[in-house]
Amino acid sequence: GQNIDQPTEMTATEGAIVQINCTYQTSGFNGLFWYQQHAGEAPTFLSYNVLDGLEEKGRFSSFLSRSKGYSYLLLKELQMKDSASYLCAVREYNQGGKLIFGQGTELSVKP
Amino acid sequence: DARVTQTPRHKVTEMGQEVTMRCQPILGHNTVFWYRQTMMQGLELLAYFRNRAPLDDSGMPKDRFSAEMPDATLATLKIQPSEPRDSAVYFCASGFITGDTGELFFGEGSRLTVL
């Protein structure tokens, strides 16, 4: 099975940079996803990493190290609307494409 | 704008009643997932289907939960009888999954409260 860990809560200031970490243990790693979920809404896809390195998409970047079982989501130029829960999810080989999610990190952006 | 549609958005019911939640996946997606979200457990996978065939439902309490895909445009999750511990938000997600690749698109969820 999988074990996915991420911090429960983080607080950051508008305009700043924040890094949300995720560590995982899995037997057949085949990709890591980050989703954003605003309160009362559906999770929405942010990023996908399957190879080591950094994927950049506007203000958001995601990094993966498969040897360390580690990923982070980097949010730059924080805005108040970035206050949300950020979910790390792992996919394994030959599991039908299912995603197993971590508990999520609740990010609060303060003025 | 393609999206996953779930009904009902909110449901309040009494313990022992039957609850049916419905999901219309995005047209062309071949895989449908049912997740449940609570504060304590986060997002848990209940069951999923590929081309309408069940792939895995080991995350579901078998005695009271059942999931089906009567056709490609409808997935259902039924709880009978419902219990207070079933109170949660139930999300349906769909994706075009090939060779274990493809992202999941989530519906808005069905918020269930069992009294």
Q: Compute the count of residue pairs across chains A and B with CB atoms less than 8 Å apart.
A: 56
Q: How confident is the model at residue B1 (pLDDT cuts 50, 70, 90)?
A: confident
- Residue B9's pLDDT is 97
Residues of chain B in contact with residue A44, where contact means CB-CB under 8 angstroms, are 106
Instruction: Give the nearest chain A residue to B36 (CA atoms).
Output: A101
Range B76-83 average pLDDT: 98
Q: 3-class secondary structure for chain A?
A: CCEEECCCEEEEECCCCEEEEEEEECCCEEEEEEEEECCCCCCEEEEEECCCEEEEECCEEEEEECCCCEEEEEECCCCHHHCEEEEEEEEECCCCCCCEECCCEEEEEEC
Across the interface, whether the CB atoms of A31 and B100 are under 8 A apart is answered yes
Q: Measured between alpha carbons, how far is A51 from A32 in angstroms, rounded to an integer?
A: 9
Place of tokens 């490609």: B72
Mean pLDDT rounded to a whole number for chain B: 95
- Residue B13's pLDDT is 98
- Residue B99's pLDDT is 80
Across the interface, whether the CB atoms of A43 and B91 are under 8 A apart is answered yes
Task: Report whether A50 contacts A62 (CB < 8 A).
Answer: no
pLDDT tens for each residue of chain A, 111 residues long: 579 999 999 999 999 999 999 999 998 999 999 999 999 999 999 999 999 999 999 999 999 999 999 999 999 999 999 999 999 999 998 888 899 999 999 999 999
B5 has a pLDDT exceeding 80: yes
- Residue A63's pLDDT is 98
Q: Which of A44, A87, A95 sits opposite B43 (nearest CB)?
A: A87
- Residue A78's pLDDT is 98
Strands B10-13 and B110-114, bridge-based pairing: parallel
Q: How confident is the model at residue B42 (pLDDT cuts 50, 70, 90)?
A: very high
Q: How confident is the model at residue B74 (pLDDT cuts 50, 70, 90)?
A: very high
A-interface mutation test, from B6, B104, B105, B110, most A Cβ less than 10 A away = B104
- Residue B101's pLDDT is 84
Neighbouring residues of A49: CB distance < 8 A, sequence distance ≥ 6: A31, A32, A55, A62, A63, A64, A71
B96-111 confidence digits (pLDDT tens)? 998 878 999 999 999 9
